[in-house]
Chain A
Amino acid sequence: MSERSTIEAVLRDEYGRIVALLARTLQGDLELAQDAVQAATVAALEQWPDNPPDQPAAWLVRTARNKAIDTIRRRSTWSRKAELLKAVTQTEALMPDIDDSRIPDERLRLICTCCHPALSLEAQVALTLRTLCGLTTLELARSFLVDPRAMAQRLVRAKRKIVEAGIPYEVPEPGALNERLGAILHVVYLVFNEGYGASTGEGPVRADLCDEALRLGELLVRLVPDESEVHGLLALMLFQDARRSTRTDDHGRVVLLRDQERERWDRSKIATGFAALGAATRRGPPGTYTLQAAIASVHARARHPDETNWNEIIALYDLLMKADPSPVVALNRAAAISIGHGPAAGLRALDALTEYHSLERHHLWWSARADVLRRLHRVPEAVAAYRQALTCVGNEAERQFIEGRIQRLLS
């Protein structure tokens, strides 16, 4: 425990659990809980190297609680002062003999509050990463490419709304929990995709978001083990993350699924993904995350692109279109048809998507169209479609990929 890196790892693991517990004692005041845990971690970094505690988590709970009491006492003009002090000190009797294994896990409360639909989606994401994962405001600002002051504002506003609008620090009733769980899974997957897609900007910081999302996914599996989609989302993220390092080449260029070095896919993540997918399907009819995970699993099973079972993938996309129709799903289904049933069928499927007008501004639709036209040897039309894709592409790697395709067609 004397190594700084070991201490940092412990602090990181315990951060969300301690904030969640303290916030409960403090009647849902996340700001106060977080500041107190922050102060406790600073104290731990100073004291633990010489004086390591037997029960690190209990040490942090005690220290953070004392810091919170100090803060409350200092705020002389605070209407809730007496009420909060009473709430915190009431638990004092329990504290001396608490050990790490007996610290209750209140993180479901915390994540339910952070992902409350009365908060904007951006605020939900920031708050979850800040309070549950312990990312600093600066790290968040860097990860989401916003000004640190703007990120700080976003967090302050969200925490203020929780207090002022009376968002409860509670796990909703079973019926409402399902609805909230949807919001929570959405936030976690959004964090994953921010890291995975890196649609704007680049750099190692953003890849860390994938790890945070996976950690949150694993946490949710422990907190709500009976929910099928919780396992489904974890499986989906694992299958995708297994391919992370093969998705771009040394120059940061996009490598398509069929060109990826499959022997470099992370087999242990894939194995864990299959276990999670099994857990999801055992617990109920597949939801959208589970279906997407099932599609990803078909790719993961194929050691070579030609071994891919495209009929299975198309059938899964059909189910996904029934469960949760969206332009992106429709597009991916059409792309799967273009491989499974040939480019002519693919072109028909793509052109049938006219009901989704937004797709005409989406580079993926144009790229997919260009690709089938290329395979049908309709070169001028393919080039024109790639050029359309260039007008709406979002990141540099994809731009380079499309430009490469145009050059090859024209040479």
Chain B
Amino acid sequence: MQYLLLIYSNESEDLMPGQDGWPEYMAEYAAFTQGIVETGEFKGGEALKPPATATSVRVRNGERLLTDGPFAETRETLGGYYLIEADNLDRAIEIAGKIPTARFGTIEVRPIASYG
């Protein structure tokens, strides 16, 4: 099964480039990613720019409405994702638990829907 691991964190708690510990944090991410590439479970993944760069789009009665920022004003925002192929939810949870941000943020594990 494929799962999307959505990486949520509170901006104020997340490490930023240039801060103490940033290189180590990135090295951890690199090691984690390398690990699931080697097992063949990695299908994709990207980091996102901060929520301030987001634009939300919705169409109501044929009219396109744009708003500044992410869809929901929540404390934790989406910062990146991994797409993985895992045997089952337990394995997906195990992988999610190894994402460095899991230590202070939240990883949401969502199965990918397949239609057809």
Chain A residues near B (Cβ < 8 Å): 116, 118, 164-168, 170, 172, 176
19 contacts between A and B (CB under 8 A): A116-B89, A118-B93, A164-B111, A165-B89, A165-B111, A166-B3, A166-B86, A166-B87, A166-B88, A166-B89, A167-B88, A167-B89, A167-B90, A168-B87, A168-B88, A168-B89, A172-B90, A176-B90, A176-B94
Interfacial chain A residues near B88, Cβ < 8 Å:
166-168, 170
Interfacial chain A residues near B111, Cβ < 8 Å:
164-166
Q: How far is the CA of A168 from the CA of B111 in the complex (A)?
A: 13
Interfacial chain A residues near B109, Cβ < 8 Å:
165
CB proximity of B108 to chain A, nearest CB, Å: 12
CB proximity of A163 to chain B, nearest CB, Å: 10
User: Chain A residue with minimal CB distance to B86?
Assistant: A166
Q: How far is the CA of A172 from the CA of B91 in the complex (A)?
A: 10
Q: How far is the CA of A170 from the CA of B90 in the complex (A)?
A: 10
User: Chain A residue with minimal CB distance to B113?
Assistant: A164
User: Chain A residue with minimal CB distance to B91?
Assistant: A168
Interfacial chain B residues near A170, Cβ < 8 Å:
88, 90
Interfacial chain B residues near A166, Cβ < 8 Å:
1, 3, 86-89, 92, 111
Interface class of chain A by DSSP? loop
1/0 per residue B72-116: CB within 8 Å of A?
000000000000001111101110000000000000010100000
CB proximity of B106 to chain A, nearest CB, Å: 14
Interfacial chain B residues near A118, Cβ < 8 Å:
89, 93
User: Chain B residue with minimal CB distance to A116?
Assistant: B89
Chain B residues near A (Cβ < 8 Å): 1, 3, 86-90, 92-94, 109, 111
CB proximity of B110 to chain A, nearest CB, Å: 8
CB proximity of B17 to chain A, nearest CB, Å: 34
Q: How far is the CA of A118 from the CA of B91 in the complex (A)?
A: 13
Q: How far is the CA of A217 from the CA of B78 in the complex (A)?
A: 42
Q: How far is the CA of A118 from the CA of B90 in the complex (A)?
A: 9
Interfacial chain A residues near B1, Cβ < 8 Å:
166
Q: How far is the CA of A43 from the CA of B78 in the complex (A)?
A: 53
Interfacial chain B residues near A164, Cβ < 8 Å:
111
User: Chain B residue with minimal CB distance to A112?
Assistant: B90
CB proximity of B104 to chain A, nearest CB, Å: 20
User: Chain B residue with minimal CB distance to A173?
Assistant: B90
Candidate in B1, B86, B89 with the most chain A CB atoms within 10 angstroms: B89
CB proximity of B112 to chain A, nearest CB, Å: 10
Q: How far is the CA of A151 from the CA of B87 in the complex (A)?
A: 30
User: Chain B residue with minimal CB distance to A28?
Assistant: B88
CB proximity of A159 to chain B, nearest CB, Å: 14
Q: How far is the CA of A170 from the CA of B3 in the complex (A)?
A: 19
Q: How far is the CA of A2 from the CA of B1 in the complex (A)?
A: 48
CB proximity of B21 to chain A, nearest CB, Å: 28
CB proximity of A277 to chain B, nearest CB, Å: 33
User: Chain A residue with minimal CB distance to B2?
Assistant: A166
User: Chain B residue with minimal CB distance to A180?
Assistant: B90
Candidate in B3, B87, B90, B109 with the most chain A CB atoms within 10 angstroms: B90
CB proximity of B10 to chain A, nearest CB, Å: 23
Q: How far is the CA of A224 from the CA of B38 in the complex (A)?
A: 35
Interfacial chain A residues near B90, Cβ < 8 Å:
167-168, 170, 172, 176
Given contacts A116-B89, A164-B111, A166-B1, 18 further A-B contacts (CB under 8 A): A118-B93, A165-B109, A165-B111, A166-B3, A166-B88, A166-B89, A166-B92, A166-B111, A167-B89, A167-B90, A168-B87, A168-B89, A168-B90, A170-B88, A170-B90, A172-B90, A176-B90, A176-B94
Q: How far is the CA of A176 from the CA of B91 in the complex (A)?
A: 11
User: Chain A residue with minimal CB distance to B92?
Assistant: A166
CB proximity of A117 to chain B, nearest CB, Å: 9
Q: How far is the CA of A167 from the CA of B90 in the complex (A)?
A: 7
Interfacial chain A residues near B92, Cβ < 8 Å:
166
Closest 10 CB pairs of A and B: A168-B88, A166-B1, A166-B89, A166-B88, A167-B89, A165-B89, A165-B111, A168-B90, A166-B111, A118-B89
Q: How far is the CA of A168 from the CA of B92 in the complex (A)?
A: 11
Q: How far is the CA of A166 from the CA of B2 in the complex (A)?
A: 10
Interfacial chain B residues near A116, Cβ < 8 Å:
89
CB proximity of B46 to chain A, nearest CB, Å: 23
CB proximity of A385 to chain B, nearest CB, Å: 39
Q: How far is the CA of A220 from the CA of B87 in the complex (A)?
A: 27
Q: How far is the CA of A176 from the CA of B88 in the complex (A)?
A: 14
CB proximity of A118 to chain B, nearest CB, Å: 6
Candidate in A166, A167, A172 with the most chain B CB atoms within 10 angstroms: A166
Q: How far is the CA of A167 from the CA of B109 in the complex (A)?
A: 12
Q: How far is the CA of A116 from the CA of B90 in the complex (A)?
A: 9
User: Chain A residue with minimal CB distance to B3?
Assistant: A166
Q: How far is the CA of A116 from the CA of B93 in the complex (A)?
A: 12
CB proximity of A7 to chain B, nearest CB, Å: 38
